[in-house]
Amino acid sequence: MNAVRKIIGIVLIVFFGLPILFGAIWAVGLIRATVSPRFLSDLPRQIIAEIPAKADAIFRDAQSGQVIQDTNTRAWFEAAAKTGTTPSDLLEKTGLLTWMDAQLSESLRQIGRVLRGERQAEPIVIDLRPLKNAILSPEVERFLLATLGNLPPCDEKGQDAWAQVAVLGPRRAQLPACRPEASVASSDLHAVLTRAAGTITDEVTVFRDARHFPAFPLGLSRTISLLSYILFLIPAIFIFFGAVIADSSTQGFLRWSGVSVFVGGLPALVLALSAKYFSLWALGGGATGWHVDRASELTSLILDKTRDIPERVIGQLLSPVVIVAVVVCLVGVVLFAVSFSVRPSPKARR
């Protein structure tokens, strides 16, 4: 009879409790991360403030033959440098710098206030029209035409390549480092810029249905995070009944529960740590050496200059999962340790 009870308890714990506990750990951790004001508001504002300096650093280093050995790519950056305009200058002339520092940053700050409970949830509109207008601005077109003017004239092969750019776009067709005819250059640039601007929506609304949100005294972010812990009730029920069926004594119940909780939390912890450090390793250059193509040098340069951005994003996403998994494992250890302080019942001694 005891063997049958243990088998039933193991089935409930192993096939129901542990998988659901694993999923609950990841769900709660990711919910905590994605509704955090630091992830949705503070971190984007910090990244936005760093964009001009990072863009200038990439622009400067891309002109070095020691960094970019591909002559076609380096020729484009050298031609752009001869215009005397840096990316930060272009951001300022097109009004993007003002938009990022003022409107965009303020919208993100208001999102953070809502999540922290400092203001009532209301629809917050992020206007992306300034970004579209900047792409289509005369300043951008003049900068690109001036860059083209610093390139050597195209031969027949280069003219054919530019014809492909107008049809396929710069992502699917390589930009040749040569100057096409003035009419071709103007039409191609207009087509490319129009296509790029067309992929951007006019505005993004956050908290679209905010009027239906109830008032949360603790703030929207904290309330959602606290409510997410209800998910742990599901695996807790299976582990509870599995442990009771396997061993109804207090000592046995604590040991079965403690081991089950620890075993359920450990894989989630290992996976979260593995995902976090593997991603950081890949961003650090571990994965870039697996492929070699014409854009790899520029890609490596961009990753090197902006590596801290995805690192911070990954840290904000996976760190809460790690913390939740650690807490779950500690709960299992505590339950198991407490079982040794409980005296076994007379029936258990027999």
Q: Is pLDDT of 102 > 80?
A: yes
Q: Residue 293 has what pLDDT?
A: 45
In this structure, the number of other CB atoms found within 10 A of the CB of residue 65 comes to 10
pLDDT of the residue at 105 = 87
What is the band of 305 on the pLDDT scale with cuts at 50, 70, 90?
confident
* Dist CA 13 CA 17 (whole Å): 4
Mean pLDDT of 131-144: 91
**pLDDT > 90 in the chain, percent:** 39
Q: Mean pLDDT for the chain?
A: 85
Cα(232)–Cα(20) distance, integer angstroms: 8
Higher-scoring residue by pLDDT: 15, 283: 15
> How many percent of the chain have pLDDT more than 70?
88
The pLDDT of residue 12? 94
Instruction: Pick 41 or 323 by higher pLDDT.
Output: 323
35 or 269, which is more confident? 269
The tens digit of pLDDT for each residue in 203-249 reads: 988 877 655 555 566 667 788 888 899 999 999 999 999 999 998 88
What are the sequence ranges of the domains in the chain? 2-128+201-344
* Whether pLDDT at 285 is above 60: no
Question: What 3-state class would DSSP assign to 121?
Answer: coil
pLDDT at res. 215 = 58
How far is the C-alpha of 326 from the C-alpha of 25, rounded, in Å?
10
Helix (H) or strand (E) holding 4: helix 2-12
Residue 111's pLDDT is what? 84
pLDDT for residue 165 is more than 60: yes
CA-closest candidate to residue 221, choices 314, 316, 308, 311: 316
Q: How far is CA 71 from CA 5, 68, 305, in A?
A: 73, 8, 21
pLDDT given at position 214: 59
The pLDDT value given to residue 172: 55
For residue 43, pLDDT beyond 60:
yes
Q: Which helix (H) or strand (E) holds 86?
A: none
Q: What's the whole-number mean pLDDT along residues 94-111? A: 88
- Cα dist from 208 to 76, 100, 109, 203, 213, whole Å: 43, 22, 17, 12, 10
pLDDT at 217: 63
Query: If you average pLDDT over residues 323-337, what whole number do you get?
Result: 96
DSSP state of 151: S
Cα–Cα distances (Å) from 235 to 18, 20, 158, 223, 331, in that order, read: 7, 5, 64, 21, 14
